[in-house]
Structure 1
């Protein structure tokens, strides 16, 4: 007797546990509707994740008089570390006949075993009619013109403004690309210093660099004689840069006397010894030759009119448009053209939506 009771309790407990593994519930958003109104029926199935579910196949109606307008895609919610699933599905229904409808249970299949939800009820009311005044009819209302507000046309206005701006820019770039005109640059050149001032400026730079005088006499005399050669070429008009020291002195003897060129000749001779014979002059000798160079420049310089005002000259330089410039113009044409077309499309679409 005791064994039988234990077996019955175990069987009852096992059946309850098995029943709890799958639960099917149905609910409805509204139990009462007017004819033509809609409501939703919700089906919820809770089951283990390792089971297979087959939802009910519903076509056009739940029962006669209750139409199914839409069946939503099932939604799955995972619980207990994906061990349990809760699947929900919505059915949008309506009715056009006033009555009290019995909605039968919704049946699902879980591992080839049937499970049913609870049944539902739906009350559909007809639209009330004024039966006391059946002769009163109200005709159709006149069409009411709704005023256009800024919110209705702002997108259209902005689209056409963008179309005009980028369209104009596209036309400008197209004209520039087709003309292929050279780019003209105007360069201002400051007036050139007189030869003696230019020479004195470079001598001051040589004078300031004491290390060159002590450590590299060859560079020192090269820089000093180059300054004198450049000054002579610009002052006296012959190419002293390509001449030897003796040739320079011979040309200067045509405009200067021998005595006045004595110090300059000594400067060139010392420079030749340093550059070609590795002569090592003393520091005072270097300073003396620097002074000789300055004296020669001061004695032979041409004084300019102090009242003459020198204006900077302007030079126009034409440069052909480069390949990169043409590519940049083509990219600009494409970009502005696309934006203008898109803006035109948006504007036209706004007009169609607003007035048609």
Structure 2
């Protein structure tokens, strides 16, 4: 008996559950004129997680002979009671033959089980034409232009205005750049004197000024040692102008033999005595030191160095700012020109679509 009552309870629960699953079909208009449209709404009520499969029709497929399905639109599901949802599909129908059509039940599969809706009817009517009074019918109308709609043209209009503003700005920037004359710089290649040539020119000037026979020995030795210091600085690459005579000799000893420096050492010693100890020299001693200076230059000179020098231009801060401003103006003008061309192409394409 217990098993019998349990079976009764299970059957009752299954019937109650199946009773809550339903499929309904409705039509918005039971009669239409030829070529008009009617809408059939197919609704299925099932559990939220249930798999619901509605009938699928291709465009212009017949739902029944004489009635075509134009479109199928699935609606959003609606919440129902006790965890159930309502799902709907709308079928758009039309017909071109005037008669009464029987629309068969539509089958919906819910979790693999088929449920059928009720059948529907659709009456298609035709227009009655009074062929006895043909004067009341009018011939075909001429082609009429579509009414002007600002919404269709507004985007093209405002983009055209924006393009004109950008073109005016571009022209203004061009005038600014044209008025701001470009800075033309040239890289100069000049001939330079080699260190020994400069030194020999200064020694020749000392000779021309007859400083060897001058009573002012201090000025003579100052000129002569300064000439040698400049030559040594350019020839050997250390700052001889800021060094003492002994420091110069010590620096040169690392690169020259002592024999070549002995006469130079004597020359610097004599010059230091004249400049700082008020030592008096004779003319022949001055001549000998001048000859020693020339010999040192000839023994240490380098004649294979390049005699041409590239002089790079040095721009002032104002010129550099001017060049930077021109580069910025050029970049902005190019960017605005690209935007204007893009806007022009888009506006022309839009107008073509509107006029055709």
Match of 1:17 in 2: 16
Match of 1:105 in 2: 105
Structure 2 contact 75–88 (Cα < 8 Å) conserved: yes
Q: 1: distance between equivalents of 2:45 and 2:351? A: 52
Over aligned residue pairs, what C-alpha RMSD do you find? 4.0
Q: 2: distance between equivalents of 1:323 and 1:128? A: 86
Alpha-carbon displacement from aligned partner over 1:312-354 (angstroms, at most 9, x marks no partner) = xxxxx94434787567546634653354234324432443244
Aligned positions, number: 222
Residue 95 of structure 1, CA deviation: 0.8
Q: TM-score, normalised by structure 2?
A: 0.50
Match of 1:89 in 2: 89
Instruction: Tell me: higher relative CO, structure 1 or 2? Use CA pairs within 8 A at least 6 residues apart.
Output: 1
Structure 1 contact 54–108 (Cα < 8 Å) conserved: yes
Match of 2:28 in 1: 29
Match of 1:140 in 2: 140
Q: 2: distance between equivalents of 1:128 and 1:137? A: 13
Match of 1:279 in 2: none
Match of 2:351 in 1: 351
Match of 1:332 in 2: 332
Structure 1 contact 35–126 (Cα < 8 Å) conserved: yes
Q: Bigger CA drift: 90-99 or 344-353?
A: 344-353
Matched, 1:42 2:41: yes
Q: 2: distance between equivalents of 1:159 and 1:37? A: 42
Q: 1: distance between equivalents of 2:152 and 2:89? A: 39
**SS, match of residue 18 in structure 1:** helix
Point out where structure 1 has 5 or more consecutive residues left out of the alignment.
Answer: 184-316
Residue 145 of structure 1, CA deviation: 5.4
Structure 2 contact 182–323 (Cα < 8 Å) conserved: no
Q: 2: distance between equivalents of 1:53 and 1:152? A: 43
**SS, match of residue 98 in structure 1:** coil
Point out where structure 2 has 5 or more consecutive residues left out of the alignment.
Answer: 184-316
Residue 166 of structure 1, CA deviation: 0.9
Question: CA 1:143 to 1:330, structure 2 compared with 1: closer, same or farther past 3 Å?
Answer: same
**SS, match of residue 69 in structure 2:** strand
**SS, match of residue 102 in structure 2:** strand
Matched, 1:115 2:115: yes
Q: 1: distance between equivalents of 2:106 and 2:330? A: 66
Structure 2 contact 44–88 (Cα < 8 Å) conserved: yes
